[in-house]
Amino acid sequence: MKRRMIFVGPPGAGKGSQAKILANKLNIPHISTGDMFRMHLKSQTPLGILAKSYTDQGLLVPDDVTNDMVKVRLNESDVHDGFILDGYPRNPDQAQYLDQLVKDLGWAIDVVINVTSEDEVIIDRITGRRTCPVCGSIYHITNYPPKVEGICDKDGATLVQRKDDSRETITKRLEVYNNETFPLIAYYKSKGLLIDVDGNRDLEPVTKDILEILEQ
Ligand SMILES: [Zn+2]
């Protein structure tokens, strides 16, 4: 069974949820870049302090800092049985670094799962979200509407659309993702490691498809 894997996919297609579900089912760690950065920041490690010196200036964290964090993580004992990388690698340079790193550890990446969804579907899903400014409840105008339109079921507050959920913001994020990820997808395709999974369904059938791929 394939147990060393990378999850890629656009924001809003369900990649993170699937990574969490599969990590639980397979009892292997879900290694997300976001969690890794937060851990280093919270523990004030040298890598965390270095990363913060860039983000504080509004700069991207350089590849070698992120690579070093992944190196530290993949040398921990809980990854011996497998792992799911989520949010890393982001570009072919990082992918090449990762190839060498896992090779040095005596392993290889078994598969890259690409959780896909059409841009329009993602845009509908995200722009339909409505949030309660009082209690933080999240609704969706068609998939999960409140009992009274525009009003929170729990406290009667007027629901709002967060700025992150606006059409403008999500369109921009998808554009950035598509441009950034294209060469990475091409890299793994050329290695025969990339498998597309249609993320535009309920969580369960998507999980089932991924499990089948891992068992092949
Ligand atoms: Zn509320």
Residue 62 has pLDDT above 90, yes or no: yes
In the reported structure, the alpha carbon of residue 199 is separated from the centroid of ligand 1 by a whole-number distance in angstroms of: 29
In the reported structure, the alpha carbon of residue 155 is separated from the centroid of ligand 1 by a whole-number distance in angstroms of: 5
| Helix ranges (DSSP H) in 56-166 | 63-74, 92-104, 119-127
In the reported structure, the alpha carbon of residue 159 is separated from the centroid of ligand 1 by a whole-number distance in angstroms of: 8
- Reported as a pLDDT band with limits 50, 70 and 90, residue 43 is very high
Q: Which tokens is 20 given?
A: 């969490």
SS3 56: coil
* Residue 167 annotated to the active site: no
Separation of alpha carbons 59 and 46, rounded Å: 18
CATH number of the domain that residue 173 is part of:
3.40.50.300
pLDDT tens digits, 71-127: 999 999 999 999 999 999 999 999 999 999 999 999 999 999 999 999 999 999 899
Catalytic residue, candidates 15, 73, 125, 130: 15
* Mean pLDDT of the 174-192 span: 94
In the reported structure, the alpha carbon of residue 31 is separated from the centroid of ligand 1 by a whole-number distance in angstroms of: 32
Domain that holds residue 198: 4-215
Residues having C-beta closer than 5 Å to ion ligand 1: 132, 134-135, 137, 152, 154-155, 157
Catalytic residue, candidates 2, 3, 52, 173: 173
Residue 164 has pLDDT above 90, yes or no: no
Catalytic residue, candidates 73, 125, 129, 130: 129
Amino acid at 166: S
Q: How many domains does the chain have?
A: 1
Exposure string of 144-160, with b = 16+ CB inside 10 Å and e = fewer, is eebeeeebbeeeeeebe
* Residue 90 annotated to the active site: yes
